[in-house]
Structure formats: C-alpha cells, structure tokens
Amino acid sequence: MGLEIKIPAVGESITEVTIAKWLKKDGDAVKRDEVIAELESDKATFELPAEADGFLKIRVAEGETIGIGVVIADIDGAGAPGATSAPAPSAAPATPDPVSQGEQNPQASNQSGYGGSQAGSTNTPTPAAAGSGATVEMKIPAVGESITEVTVAKWLKEDGAQVQRDEIIAELESDKATFELPAEGTGTLRHAAKEGETIGIGATIARIEGGAGTAAAPAAPAAPAAATTTAAAPSNAAAPAGASSYATGTPSPAAGKILGEKGINPADVQGSGRDGRITKEDAQNAQARPAAPAPAAPAAPAPAANPVPQAAPAASGNRVQRRERMSNLRKTVARRLVSVKNETAMLTTFNEVNMQPIMDLRNKFKDKFKEKHSVGLGFMSFFTKAVCVALKEWPAVNAQIDGTDIVYNDFCDISIAVSAPKGLVVPVIRNAEELSFDGIEKEIVRLATLARDNKLTIEQMTGGTFTITNGGVFGSMMSTPIINAPQSAILGMHNIVQRPVAENGQVVIRPMMYLALSYDHRIIDGRESVSFLVRVKELLEDPTRLLLGV
C-alpha cells in the first residue's frame, strides 16, 4: 500500500485548490521533499512536495479543482509500477561517433542535453552535487490570529546567496504590519516566491540548501550542433531561462470565471502572479478592449455641399499611465472603511474651538516643559486629556456594539491616526486617562516613530476604544472622519485659522479650529454626541479645568 498524498491546508479561508501543473509524470521516481506539483487557489500558488521516496502514482488530473484533504496521488516505494529498468549500455563505442564525441559519460545518450531530465534514462543514479547537506524548507509562520496571507515585500538576500541561521532574509507585509523573516538554517538560499507575491500562511517561501557552494551544479557538457539532428531533447526538459512558463497568460480558476463573465480574452490581460499567471485581482482590474470597427463598405462620394468633418487631433504631451498593485494594508483599510459606511448609522456633528488659551499656555511653558521632560508640549496631549474626561462623563461614546450587546469600557484606550509610509495606521495609547501630559506626549512620539519605521506590532494597533485623527497637519479645514470599527466614535481635528469671532459684543480675531465628531447613531444619541463635543470644547478653551478636574 503506497503513501497517500493529500491536499494540505493552505490557508484559513481556502477550501479548494486547482492542480495547476504536475511537475512529475505518473510513474516517475521522486525523492522526499522534491516538488511534484503546483497547486493554485484564488489567492496564491503553492508547491506540493513529495512526502517520501518512491514512485509517483497520480490520481487527479492536471487542471482539476478539488477540496482540502483529498488524496491526489500515491507514492509507492516498492518499485516502478508497470515498468522495468532499462539496461544500461555495456560500454562506450570503440570508435567515437561524431554525434556523441565529447560526451564523457557512456550513459549520456539516455539523458537530456539540458542536464537535468531523467525521461527515458536508466535507473542508474546520476552524480549528485558533492557536499550538499539537508535542505531546510521555510514556510510562512502564523503572524496573527486574523491574518491568512502575507506579501513578500522585499527579499534582503538574493536567490543563491549564502545565509546564516537567524539572519534576516526577507520582509513580509500583512494587511496590518510588516514582519522580518529570519533564516531557519545555514546554507544556500533558494527563493520559492517572488518579491511582491501574496502567499498564504504555511506556504513554502524559500529553501535553504546545506553545503558551502553558492553556485548550482554544473550542467552536462553541451553536445555539438550536429547532435540535434539525431537526438531530440525529451519533451519534459526544463525550459531555458527567460522562456515563458506554462503559467504565463494562464488565468487562475477564479480569474478565468471573472474574465468569462466580462467577455475578456485572457490573451489581452497582463498577469502579475507567479510566472505571469493571471490572478483574481488582474481579472477584476481588466477592461475589455473596444471591438475593432468592421471594415466599411466603399461609400458613395459625398456631395461637395456636405464636407466630411475632420478627426480631432491626437493629444500631445506626456500620456504615460502607471499601474501598481494595492498593498495588503491599503486593501484592508479600503475594505474596512466601506464596511463601516455600510454597517453603521454614521452621523457627524461639528463645533469650533478657540485655541488661543492653549496657545498662550504652550508659549509660556513649552521651554520649561521640554527642559524637564525632554519632550515637546503639543496640542495632542490637551486633546487626549480633554477626550478622556468627556468619555468618563458620556460612556456611550466610549462603548461599542457586540452583536446584540453594548460593551461599555471603564478605561480610555485612545487610538491616534498616523500617516505612515505604507498607509494609515492607528496605534493605541493604553489607559490614556491615567497618563500625565508628558506621559501622553512621550507615548505619541514613541508610537509615531515605530509607525514611520514600519515596526508597529499588531498588538499596538488593536483594542482602542476611541480615535483621534488630525487632518489639520495637512491643511484640512473641515472633514467627516469615518469611524474606526468596532469603535463607535472618532474625533477629527483640523487646521487652526485666524478668523473673526464675537466676544463680549466685540469682533475680535482668534485662532479657531473646527472639530468634527463622527459617531454611530445606533448606540450614541444626538444629545450624547453634541454634549460630548461641547464638553471637549469647554475643556480646551479653559485648559485649567483639565488641571483642576472641573
């Protein structure tokens, strides 16, 4: 009874895969960990290694779609099914034939001139690369409870480079953070995924071959040109470097369905997947080419009184377009924002704040504050403290909906929206209500630095109860921020502008800022939202209240 090869679990949300290509034929001898097939889901392409030495018996045809856990092949270690070993030639010809002259191995006539194919060869093993050790197969580790796939953001070590154990070889990017991938062994690195490719958790990303050599085993000596007239290369020989692979221009099952619905020919779509394969995203972004106009029949000459209008002149200047794949972070942000708009009863209420008292207080104490605490005194600490006080008085603004329940939080974990190089991230200040002004400023500086360096962890970006976003740093006068789910409210700050206002019957010029509070009307009523924002305004316009707790 042979060893059964089953489709492994390749991702939390993946239930079926397609046999993209069998890399070994039925009856071929295979080695343990040798890649025998390529599997394709609607998200990525995976390699299937052999689980033992023996002879391969294929059960499922190439191109068929099957579920996780289904048996697709057997490996029989007893011998080749239905075949016997071909006898090896007894000796080399006494007189070298012009075609085979230059071949040093008498068995070379049974092997491909490409140097790797075993089709039609005898069972006599070919020389292996000397000094090679065990191969370590590196797979994508689990990096978070809700993360099912990552993108190879950058290879830090080239294919074929020598690496040491624990040396960082690549950067992986999920929809929430960027991670570093260390080498799991010492040896020669072989990439199994391309830079920019998105693959599932548990998929093979690289292999580390043991041994000191960095170069591949030398190919067999090339036969003279005349040899090609008498000995054709086997049909399963590997394609030379630079040639298109079987995947080039081939759509995945999901992509093929989308293209069929759109009526688009796969030949008109540029694939961005592995080896040029057309992915689901490529199909979704593809646009049908306008049909070529049918050749018109010769028309009768138009009367001179009705001249034919001339075609519009072609546009001049730069007309270059550039297409980039969305990062996982950008795709997740887009998906969540649309989900919030569709699933919440979101409203926004506005107010304005006279920032003169806070600006006067900062100008008076900012130098002493920085000298004592080694951090600047910014506006965010005032807003964070004011928000924490108001959240204690209006707890519904600090709550969230969980199914049919409302979860009230007695603590204030304030999320601060930060524009990082790869997109918007929202790190969290834990228990902000217990921090002093300098404690808040130091935490903001720390989190912002991690965001700019793409070093924020998932734990540092989850679990907030209320969000503050400051579009004013980019010049925004007024906006309606979108709630950061599962939270129920978000406060938007804007730029400070000198505007005329009335004070005690007099028109005066004051530095004014518009505030916007977006909230989920399912849990927060208008009275609570307006009262919360008025309380924040009151605390900011008289900051001594923050110090006295009134």
pLDDT in tens, 27-56: 899 998 889 998 877 656 778 998 888 999
Give the residue with greater pLDDT, 173 vs 43.
173
pLDDT tens digits, 509-535: 999 999 999 999 999 999 999 999 999
46/228: higher pLDDT = 46
3-class SS at 228?
helix
Place of tokens 């500086």: 445
Band of residue 233 on the pLDDT scale cut at 50, 70, 90: very low
Q: Which of 156-170, 202-216, 342-356, 377-391 has the lowest mean pLDDT?
A: 202-216
DSSP sequence for 260-309: HHHT--GGGS---SGGGPBPHHHHHH--PPPPPPPPPPPPPPPPTTSPPP
Task: For residue 366, give both structure tokens.
Answer: 């900012």
Task: Indicate which residues carry an active-site annotation.
Answer: 521, 525
Q: Please give the pLDDT value at position 240.
A: 45
> According to the per-residue pLDDT averaged within each range, which of 2-6, 269-273, 395-399 is highest?
395-399
Q: How far apart are CA 234 and CA 220, in angstroms?
A: 15
3-state secondary structure of 332: helix
Q: Answer whether residue 280 shows pLDDT above 60.
A: yes
Report pLDDT for 107.
Answer: 41
pLDDT in tens, 429-448: 999 999 999 999 999 999 99
Q: What is the pLDDT of residue 516?
A: 96
Asked if the model's pLDDT at residue 85 lies above 50, the reply is no
Residues 6+ apart with CB under 8 A from 379: 355, 358, 362, 470, 493
Q: In which band, very low, low, confident or very high, does the pLDDT at 231 lie, cut at 50, 70 and 90?
A: very low
Q: Sketch out the chain's domains with CATH numbers.
A: 1-79 (2.40.50.100), 253-284 (4.10.320.10), 345-548 (3.30.559.10)
pLDDT band at 292 (very low <50, low <70, confident <90, very high): low
pLDDT > 70 fraction of the chain, expressed in percent and rounded: 76
Q: Looking at residue 343, what is its pLDDT?
A: 87
pLDDT of residue 428: 95
